[in-house]
Amino acid sequence: MKKIVSLVFASLLGGVIALGAYVFVLSNNENIYSNKSSNEPKIVQANYNIPSSSYIAEATDFTKAAEATVHAVVHVKNTSVSKSNPLAEFFYGEGAGGGGRTTVGTGSGVIISPDGYIITNNHVINGAKELQITLNDQKSYVAEVIGSDPSTDIALIKIDAEDLPFVSFANSDNVKVGEWVLAVGNPFNLTSTVTAGIVSAKARNINISGGKMVESFIQTDAAVNPGNSGGALVNVRGELVGINTAISSQTGSYVGYSFAVPSNIAKKVIEDLMEYGDVRTAYLGIQSAELNGELAKELNINQTQGVLVAGVTESGGAIKAGLEKNDIIIQMDNIKINKFSDLKGFLSTKRPGNKVKVTVLRDNEEKQFEVKLGNQFGKETIDELDFSKNLLGSLKKISKKDATKFRINYGLQLERVRSANLRKNGVKDGDIILNIADTKIYEVQDAEDILRQHKGEQVIVQVLNDEGYVEYYRIAVGN
């Protein structure tokens, strides 16, 4: 019996010692490893040391820019009436011409002064019978068109109101690729919509007009959709850097890229419209070609970026300053010129009479010239008959002899053909211009007025030669 008790006691004592040792080891071990697999995520301590705000998006605050902008962006409603086809109505009766239908389009605009001046796109207000402006607080006004410029797709309108919130202009030349921007507008009639993105590229040419427009857009990846046209593109300080104008899409909706007219171009256009009633376009006085690797190899030069001077015009500022054929323009003032859209965008912020510093490469050496910019005729101002004289030639009313010979009572005779394009195509001194842009002309002033009305466009000129044949020629009417 004593032996059994001793064995039991020994067993209990061994168990207590083993249990104590296990607890001791467990309490002093910091890491327990297991071979058992687990699907639970690993938990790590968060790092709350936030780097400088200039390096990460999370630290960029868009709320101030949105608050400063959203009340200054308006909804634009364009009510227009479609034009009829008089020929169809003549043959098939009233209403067959498809005219008289009321259509409504919408877009956006940006208030730029407290007394009601609003900037938008020309295509937003084009053809409007009535423009209705709705503010962010739902107040509505009827707007009048102050002026527009199809070549930049910028328009200026005004409402009768005071003490309005407005957006200030920033210098769009200072915008950098990768910089945060906000697009503010009214897509799909969803008022006061703000989207964010970065500047993807500058001086972008997307050829949406076939060469009829100045295309030097700021490209962004901020979401822009139908209805955003004419709205604001602003920086994180709420300053206007562009006017949202176009998207690149095969569906009609945003797919990743949008394009804005830079604020420097838009600002210059509206200042011209307010001061002169039209836009004063500056010309350097060159024929240009965009440089590329193939052309550089042909010219035996090392430069593959810039704008090649393919020729200089006789009356332009470039030839007077000393620029020559085959010079390569690489900088205008402090703006680098890598391609033609850089050059066009820069000139679109200038006026005839402005002086600019032009840096060129000549024989692979840099040279700088000061060029005084002119208008399309090489002058600072447009004289009374400059359009007709320079685009056609010296004109006079047709003689009674010619009127009798050709049985006409209208037309102007070319005393001297000045248009290189017309002369190249066989138009001679003494030929008679019958009409311009489908309009008969009787007086020299008629020709001048018609050409001025079609600035920035191409028109058809009907010419009667001395053998009695009528020919048609297309000429471009510069701004």
Instruction: Give yes or no: residues 451 and 400 share one domain.
Output: yes
Does the pLDDT of residue 349 top 50, yes or no? yes
Say yes or no: 357 and 390 in one domain: no
Q: Which residue among the candidates 148, 229, 348, 388 is catalytic per the annotation?
A: 229
* Judgement on whether residues 260 and 189 belong to the same structural domain of the protein: yes
User: Is 136 a domain residue?
Assistant: yes
The reply to whether 63 falls in a domain is no
- Identify the band that residue 97 occupies on the pLDDT scale cut at 50, 70 and 90: low
Sequence-distant (≥ 6) Cβ neighbours of residue 203 within 8 angstroms = 216, 217, 338, 339, 341, 342, 345
Same domain, yes or no, for 392 and 319? Answer: no
Residues 6+ apart with CB under 8 A from 392: 414, 417, 418, 419, 422, 433, 447, 451, 461, 475
Pairing of strands 258-262, 365-372: unpaired
Question: Does position 82 have pLDDT exceeding 80, yes or no?
Answer: no
pLDDT single digits (tens) 14-30:
554 444 444 343 333 33
Same-domain check for residues 83 and 129: yes
- Position 451 in a domain: yes
Task: Give the least confident one: 26-35, 60-69, 156-165, 280-289.
Answer: 26-35
Judged against a pLDDT cut of 90, whether residue 411 lies above it is answered with yes
Structural domain contains residue 8: no
How do residues 351-362 score in pLDDT, each as one tens digit? Answer: 999 999 999 999
Check whether residue 263 and residue 346 sit in a common domain.
Answer: no
β-strand pairing of 457-464 with 432-436: antiparallel
CB-CB neighbours of 203 under 10 Å: 22
Query: In terms of domains, do 96 and 154 share one?
Result: yes
Nearest to 111 by CA among 147, 148, 68: 68
Q: Are residues 271 and 176 in the same domain?
A: yes
Tens digits of per-residue pLDDT, 134-153? 999 999 999 999 999 998 99
Residue finishing a domain among 252, 275, 298 = 275
Residue numbers of the domain that contains 327: 286-372
- Is 71 annotated as catalytic? no
Mean pLDDT confidence for 469-476: 91
Q: Residue 262 and residue 270: Cα distance in Å, rounded?
A: 13
Counting residues of the chain whose pLDDT is more than 90, the rounded percentage is: 59
- The structural domain count of the chain equals 4
Q: Would 467 be classed as within a structural domain?
A: yes
Instruction: Give the CATH number, domain containing residue 466.
Output: 2.30.42.10
Q: 378-396: string of b/e by CB count within 10 Å (b at 16+)?
A: bebebeebbbbbbbbbbbe
> Is 5 a member of any domain?
no
**Domain co-membership, 220 together with 264:** yes
Catalytic, 454? Answer no
What DSSP string describes 160-199? Answer: S-SS-----B--GGG--TT-EEEEEE-GGG--SEEEEEEE
What are 156's two structure tokens? 């200026």
> What is residue 58's predicted lDDT score, i.e. its pLDDT?
44
**Catalytic residue check, 272:** no
Domain CATH number, residue 241: 2.40.10.10
2 domain-assigned: no
Residue 114 inside a domain? The answer is yes
DSSP 275-333: HTSS----B--EEEEE--HHHHHHHT-S--SSEEEEEE-TTSHHHHHT--TT-EEEEET
40-44, 217-221, 425-429: least confident range: 40-44
123, 148, 272, 446: the active-site residue: 123
Q: With a cut of 80, say whether residue 83 has pLDDT above it.
A: no
Q: What is the mean pLDDT of residues 281-307?
A: 88
Annotated catalytic residue within 71, 149, 151, 153: 153
By mean pLDDT, which of 34-48, 72-86, 213-227 is the weakest? Answer: 34-48
Give the end of a domain, one of 372, 404, 439: 372
pLDDT computed for residue 11 by the predictor:
52
Q: Is 54 a residue whose pLDDT tops 70?
A: no
Given this model, what pLDDT does residue 285 score? 94
* pLDDT score recorded for residue 90: 52
Q: What is the mean pLDDT of residues 61-71?
A: 92
Q: What pLDDT shows up at residue 419?
A: 83
